[in-house]
Amino acid sequence: MKKNNLITKNYIKHNYINKKKIIKLSKNFTKIIEKVKNDIQDQEKTLNVLSKNYNFNFKIKDLQKFKKFKIVVVIGMGGSILGAEAINTFFEEKIKKKFYFFDDLRSKKILDLKKKENLKKILFLVISKSGNTIETLSNFFSLNVIKKNSKNIVIISEKNNNLLFSLTKKFNLFYIEHKKNIGGRYSVLSEVGIVPAYLMGINIQKLRSEIQTHLKGKKFFFLKKSTIKLASFLISKKINNLIFLNYSSRLEKLLFWSQQLIAESLGKNGKGFLPMVSKVPRDHHSLLQNYLDGPKDKLFHIFSIEDESTEKININKKGSFRTFLDKKKLRDIKFAQKNSLIKAFKKKNIPFREFKIKNTNEKTLGELFSYFILETVIIGKLIKVNPFDQPAVEQVKNYTKKLLN
């Protein structure tokens, strides 16, 4: 019997949803899912990244020489780096190398790296789809590591007239082409996420092995039910705040990856969720009052990992002092808090879904990546927005370049 690494549950009651809209959306879903399946097989489409026959623009034998590096610096922004960070954090106990992620503009961070590490012994992985991302270029240039025939630099960008690609030709740097049809936020299972995963020592075949599992069986039913209900929320505009309740630090970067995916893909034409990551149980003591008794404009996603540490509380080994917390596992305390919140959500009829991770392996993470990609694309099509563009973001980028010129 096949092991179920990811348990998903849907607690969105029907009284939140217009039944006529559900019927219409269900018919549209049937048409959309067939188009999605066709797009997965089309090498010119973004969703081809979910194909079992996806053709990578690199060969494993060409990457093997970079595995000798014990320290790796990844430089990128948004979708070019969030996926790699998510993989690194998810497998933090398994990865033996040291990874630094530069995804902001902080001069102190650059100075600290220069003081702490020997830059000649670091592998620099620079990723930008456009090849012209200002923050990525600024960090790369600030490190001052570019030299002719450098053996410790890998560049991933589109092959066109952009600055990063021009640098690879001028300085003869190792280059991997970023596919034009795959936008940054959809690229985690492409070269953008798979190259860092390989360097981390992750089994990249297993990472991609379950990426189509939600297109069949019971998991397909969950995908269909969820996309229709979430799309109905956005169409009715009753709920547009999406709160990720995170009960595991190992999932934090995954949720930030998902936050970008959802916000940039669906936030258009006055529609879309505003996704926010909420660290719990910490936020039980700051935001929970609003979650339970504030405006009824929120949908919650609850995330937890089952196979986390089993460390126990030992208050007094001699037994002279006792409390209800003695001998309790920290994991069990968090689960008690989570299950209590679920009970309160049900009592107050607050819509939520639960994502329970049974095993933190490559298959599970690949399944999570592919699920949210599929769900986001389908919701976008159901609410009639283009899930693949980001016109407002491009506008700000253009303003920035004009001010710097």
For the chain, what is the mean pLDDT? 93
The residues, ordered by sequence, that sit 6+ positions from 193 with a Cβ below 8 Å of its Cβ are 83, 84, 87, 187, 369
CB atoms inside a 10 Å sphere around CB 305 = 22
Which of 173, 189, 207 finishes a domain?
A: 207
Widest distance between CA atoms in the chain: 74
**What is residue 316's predicted lDDT score, i.e. its pLDDT?**
64
Cα 61 from Cα 290, distance rounded (Å): 53
pLDDT at 312 over 90: no
Give the pLDDT of residue 399: 85
Tokens of 195: 């190259």
Q: What is the pLDDT of residue 361?
A: 96
pLDDT at 135: 96
Q: Is the pLDDT of residue 307 over 60?
A: yes
Same domain, 268 and 286: yes
Average pLDDT over residues 378-400: 91
Structural domain boundaries, residue 28: 6-37+212-382
What tens digit of pLDDT does each residue of 80-135 get?
999 999 999 999 999 999 999 999 999 999 999 999 999 999 999 999 999 999 99
Work out the average pLDDT over 190-206.
Answer: 98
Report the DSSP pairing between strands 122-127 and 71-75.
Answer: parallel
Tell me, what's the pLDDT at 1? 46
More confident residue, 392 or 384: 384
Q: In this structure, are residues 75 and 140 in contact, taking their beta carbons and an 8 Å threshold? A: yes
Q: DSSP characters for 358-380?
A: S--SHHHHHHHHHHHHHHHHHHH
Distance CA 126, CA 149 (A): 16
Last residue within a domain, chosen from 207, 232, 262: 207
Those residues whose C-beta lies under 8 Å from the C-beta of residue 337, and which sit 6 or more positions away, are 247, 280, 281, 284
The answer to whether residues 176 and 262 belong to one domain is no
Res 358: pLDDT: 93
Whether 367 and 218 map to the same domain: the answer is: yes
Of the pLDDT bands very low, low, confident and very high (cuts 50, 70, 90), residue 330 is confident
* pLDDT for position 314: 67
Residue of higher predicted confidence among 404 and 271: 271
Residue 46 in any domain: the answer is: no
Whether the per-residue pLDDT at 154 is higher than 60: the answer is: yes
Residue 401's pLDDT is 80
* pLDDT at 321 > cutoff 60: no
User: 202 with 231, same domain?
Assistant: no
Say whether both 14 and 100 belong to one domain.
Answer: no
SS3 assignment, position 93: coil
Q: HSE-up of 373 (CA within 13 Å, CB side)?
A: 32
Q: Average the pLDDT over each of 14-18, 42-46, 93-97 and give the range with the smallest value.
A: 14-18
pLDDT at 370: 98
Whether residues 223 and 364 fall in one domain: yes
C-alpha span between 375 and 186 (Å, rounded)? 12
154: phi then psi, degrees, rounded to nearest 5: -125, 130
Domain match, 138 and 94 both: yes
As a dihedral over the C-alpha atoms of residue 283, residue 287, residue 293, residue 298, rounded to 10 degrees, the angle is -90
Mean pLDDT along residues 183-211: 97
Q: How far apart are CA 201 and CA 153, in angstroms?
A: 18
Give pLDDT, residue 402.
85
Do 193 and 223 have their domain in common? no
> Count of residues for the chain?
405
Average pLDDT over residues 334-361: 95
Q: Can you tell me the distance from the alpha carbon of 137 to that of 300, in angstroms, rounded to the nearest whole number?
A: 37
Which pLDDT score is estimated for 347? 95
126 bridge partner residues: 75, 155
Cα separation, 46 vs 98, in Å, equals: 31
Does the pLDDT value for residue 329 go beyond 80? no
**192 and 289 belong to one structural domain:** no
In the chain, the N- to C-terminal Cα span, in Å, equals: 61
Contact 245/300 with Cβ under 8 angstroms? Answer: yes
Report pLDDT for 20.
81
Q: What's the total number of domains in the chain?
A: 2
In a domain, 115, yes or no: yes
Residues 83, 162 within the same domain: yes
The encoded tokens of residue 3 equal 């092991």
Q: What percent of the chain has pLDDT over 70?
A: 93
Are residues 64 and 16 part of one domain? no
Residue 394 lies in a domain: no
Stated as kind and residue range, the H or E segment containing 157 is: strand 153-157
Tell me, yes or no, whether 347 and 218 share the same domain: yes
- The pLDDT assigned to 12 comes to 87
Q: How far, rounded to the nearest angstrom, does the alpha carbon of residue 273 sit from its chain's CA centroid? A: 16
pLDDT at residue 308 is higher than 90: no
Could you give the 3-state DSSP secondary structure of residue 276? strand
